[in-house]
Chain A
């Protein structure tokens, strides 16, 4: 114990000396808000993109000298996230931005953090503890609106296949339940297959292959998916369908899916089938990955003493064949003018999430989502 204490004094002394030498910067650094980001499992596209946008937000010139951001990954394990949040509070966090692994399991630790004056902001998912700020879309609305679009497209009649998300999560539950309520109101809409898609294009592909093993594409009239319309369209083309015969698909906001929505024959740099304009009948919605960046911005505002609402319901990004519009560079200004899909030459991963525009976040655009660089 003695050695520890001595080392600590030594470290303190060095730090003191360093701050004396560096002078002004040391003082400035001390004024920065200490903010932590606790992410979930980093091994998927959405998480990585959201993390990029948070980092870009922290690096933007309006926040760079105010924020000292540290990013940590908790993995898929709620228990570890609890431990991590505790450690963050212990390390002197002033605000914690969280992608919550569970809406309920973190309640106690979040309450404990709030009691110590730490601002807690959850993005995309939800934390039900009342002291936490939640920034997310209305998941029920997402399920309902997309289901209504599909019913209308099919004129209230047809056999449909559902591909859901991760079973046992609130997000999947709310979306699927809301969609099924809509379908239940139309007796001629029949759900003939339901697969668990895990919010992954790769899983959607294997699940749809299983369904089409016993049921050909001709016996399906429409698709409602939480992720995978891009893949479903690709599979139909492989099965010999033409672009005009593609089934209506209500689903995710991947860039690949949006490119497919552009009228067939549109000149697009870098396009290669199936990542190409097909005029596919679609409605595209998404949980927007900018929510983490916005959460950070709001956290700083809260630390500066501004009044920040406990619940920010983000507008649901919806794109249909009528509203899909190609971006040339992907700056925030260009997106503000209404473009919502990016060139394959810029975004080579079709599974990348294209709903990155928010009127609230002029600091972050395409480069933020791709490489974590803020706008000028």
Chain B
């Protein structure tokens, strides 16, 4: 065969599998670095360790990838892993050293598939948004997990460990690699069946898939079941690896799972990529632990180093003629050339080129304008469920705990506690309206709070310059996010996840691990004092809500955001400067997060590391519960506000009861799920 003939298919093959190839190359480079710097050469033993270290993440990431390929999103993955772990650890007989591997593996996969079926039912059959369904099931599963086992313990038979951590071929093939290989082979088979094609089709374009006769309901349902099976297997693997149960073991795997998927070259939003890349991505993230160790990177810098590796790995995957960066550079070049030639639009003499229309002499009869209800029917339909549920929760609180509806103190507390999420909802909500997601919220809050407290040190005078300085810093963070997303073409999840790690490192370095300083009296009064019966921040929130509604509903900026969310291409062709507006959106989000950092510092009196950690998932949840579409383009701030009030009222109610945490988590998940069932998309 001549070279010319074989080169073209090879190039096409590479182009199709660029993501996987880059992930594999990155992994091999990292492996070589570890091998080069560490004391001895890497033995089979070391490789087998690496294999077992990354296997749980890899298996879970494979499941997550299949969901993402179909255009979905699964937040319950980590919780399922914990659930399988505790079920196995709780039900195995401690005396049985030779428990059946087949049986317990089947049990684990079965549990995973069952949870996947629940997700699939709500998402595929009831057509609810994946992110909020899986968020609810995540809480419910976490609750169930804690009911089964409320603290680490239990027993997993060593026979599982011997099998899953052992060798498939002694000295050549560690079992974890073999297990992952079998799963990937199954996928390779599935991919070429009708279902496999359907998964890619549904993820690429749901409408088109329906039009050509793909059963989207069945496809999406099966996707979650298959993914659940993968999480189940990951749960079995971690049980074998640890030999015991821990109800919290799987939860922190969630974020790194998404990172693995992205590093592996799968596009968030669906249609492109595959599980092989994600499995390699999981190993890339795991070997970073070894890299940090051999390079002896100090603890404070470790999150920064990880963020850098994540960014570099993803950027490496996108370098090509058609990448966003290359496009931006080309555009810049053309622009400079045009400027030199004097043909840039802004350099041309300005002429009014509008069509001259004859001024109308008589008023056009418009007829009766449609009623308020008709005009806002869609907004109301999506915003109302949150408010209805909110009223229900308040009534339940009144009957259960009393002292609610007529107690001004209750409403005051509710609004003060809501203020943080209500402000975040504007930022996160606007980002979601454009189809993005801002994961840098936690440490933007943390860093801004810590720096504010450090600058203010209890002085009102210092607040006058510290506040603008901190808010400026927040804008800068948003600018970094925005520029990374727009000019480097990084996916919002990757960019903001990396920024979050970077900010955590900066916060640790700035505070040296112990944040000092405290809020000034004025700021504290603002969050905890009283004007008559209301805390000052309550009055501020009224103004903020008016501002937010006006910003999104009454300004050109707001209309352009909705335009971008409904279709970037269409927005571009309508003359919207998409790039500039996206950057602005991330600046707004960081500004909101920075403001929350300031207010939280006032509320608590001081700032602490990790004070923003509890606000990430809720900030996304309230936006979606309030009727916004996670893929962008639909949503109203008042709806999101309803989501904020519902969640806060629900938490307030649960905190007032003496129900165990597990029950609360389950109730919380059920209420959120109930609220969004009312939001479901009816097929027109």
Contact = CB atoms under 8 A, between A and B. Distances in A.
Contacts of A272: 458, 518
Interface string A8-39: 10010000000000000000000000001001
B566 to A, nearest CB: 36
A77 B610 contact: no
Given A77-B256, A195-B655, A210-B652, A104 B246 contact: yes
A104 B241 CA distance: 11
B403 A214 contact: yes
A77 B246 CA distance: 12
Contacts of B413: 209-210, 212-213
Contacts of A193: 655-658
A82 interface: yes
A104 B152 contact: yes
A73 B299 contact: yes
Interface string A196-228: 101011110111011111111000000000000
B38 interface: yes
Contacts of A207: 655
B417 A209 contact: yes
Contact of B600 (A52, A70, A202): A202
A231 B151 contact: no
Contacts of A108: 161, 165, 241-243
B410 interface: yes
B172 interface: no
A107 B242 contact: yes
A213 B249 contact: no
B56 A79 contact: yes
Contacts of B513: 42, 45, 47-49, 51-52
A71 B296 CA distance: 8
A11 B36 contact: yes
Nearest to B443: A43
Contact of A200 (B145, B256, B610): B610
Contact of A90 (B49, B302, B655): B49
Q: Which residue, of A77, A80, A214, has the highest number of chain B Cβ atoms within 10 A?
A: A214
B53 interface: yes
Interface in B616-638: none
A353 to B, nearest CB: 10
A105 interface: yes
B402 interface: yes
Interface in A74-119: 74-80, 82-84, 86-88, 90-92, 102-108
B248 A169 contact: yes
Nearest to B414: A213
Given A80-B286, A169-B248, A70 B293 contact: yes
Contacts of A149: none
Contacts of A78: 242, 246, 248-249, 252
Contact of B247 (A82, A168, A231, A275): A168
A167 B146 contact: yes
Contacts of A86: 49, 53
A71 B299 contact: yes
B242 A211 contact: no
A238 to B, nearest CB: 5
A39 B299 contact: yes
B528 interface: yes
Given A45-B609, A52-B513, A83-B290, A104 B242 contact: yes
B115 to A, nearest CB: 18
B605 A274 contact: yes
A206 B242 contact: no
B516 interface: yes
Contacts of B146: 167-168
Nearest to A205: B604
A214 B410 contact: yes
A194 B661 CA distance: 9
B243 A103 contact: no
A313 B298 CA distance: 30
B651 interface: yes
Contacts of B53: 79, 82-83, 86
Interface in A164-193: 164, 166-170, 172-174, 191-193
B407 interface: yes
Contact of A91 (B165, B294, B409, B514): B294
Contacts of A172: 151
A345 to B, nearest CB: 11
A4 B36 contact: yes
A209 B529 CA distance: 13
B458 A105 contact: no
B167 interface: no
B656 A210 contact: yes
B482 to A, nearest CB: 25
B98 interface: no
Q: Which residue, of B32, B242, B507, B529, has the highest number of chain A Cβ atoms within 10 A?
A: B242
B604 A201 contact: yes
Contact of B248 (A168, A212, A214): A168
A87 B288 CA distance: 11
B253 A77 contact: yes
B293 A84 contact: yes
A72 interface: yes
A105 B247 CA distance: 11
A371 interface: yes
A170 B403 CA distance: 36
A212 B404 CA distance: 11
Q: Which residue, of A39, A103, A173, A205, has the highest number of chain B Cβ atoms within 10 A?
A: A205
Q: Which residue, of A52, A87, A210, has the highest number of chain B Cβ atoms within 10 A?
A: A87
B618 to A, nearest CB: 11
Contacts of A191: 658
Contacts of A170: 151-153
Interface string A328-355: 0000000000000000000011111000
Interface string B284-323: 0010011011101011101100000000000000000000
A242 B400 CA distance: 31
A117 to B, nearest CB: 15
A376 interface: no
Nearest to B149: A168
Nearest to B515: A349
A16 to B, nearest CB: 14
A103 B609 CA distance: 24
Contacts of A150: none
A72 B305 CA distance: 12
A371 B516 CA distance: 12
A4 B152 contact: no
A45 B608 contact: yes
B609 to A, nearest CB: 4
Given A42-B508, A200-B608, A201-B604, A206 B252 contact: no
B219 interface: no
B352 interface: no
| Nearest 4 A/B pairs, CB to CB | A48-B513, A104-B244, A213-B413, A210-B655
22 contacts: A7-B36, A8-B36, A42-B302, A42-B508, A43-B504, A44-B608, A45-B609, A72-B289, A73-B303, A76-B252, A78-B248, A80-B286, A90-B290, A104-B246, A105-B242, A108-B165, A168-B145, A193-B658, A194-B658, A206-B417, A210-B413, A211-B655
Interface of B: 32, 35-36, 38-39, 41, 46, 49-50, 53-54, 56-57, 145-146, 150-154, 161, 165, 238, 241-249, 252-253, 256, 286, 289-290, 292-294, 296, 298-300, 302-303, 397, 401-404, 407, 409-410, 413-414, 416-417, 446, 457-458, 504, 507-508, 512-518, 528-529, 600, 603-606, 608-611, 613-614, 651-652, 655-658, 661-662
Interface of A: 4, 7-8, 11, 36, 39, 41-45, 47-49, 51-52, 70-80, 82-84, 86-88, 90-92, 102-108, 128, 164, 166-170, 172-174, 191-196, 198, 200-203, 205-207, 209-216, 231, 234-235, 238, 272, 274-275, 348-352, 370-371
Given A45-B609, A83-B53, A104-B245, 10 more contacts: A4-B32, A70-B296, A79-B238, A86-B49, A173-B150, A201-B604, A205-B604, A210-B655, A235-B528, A238-B528
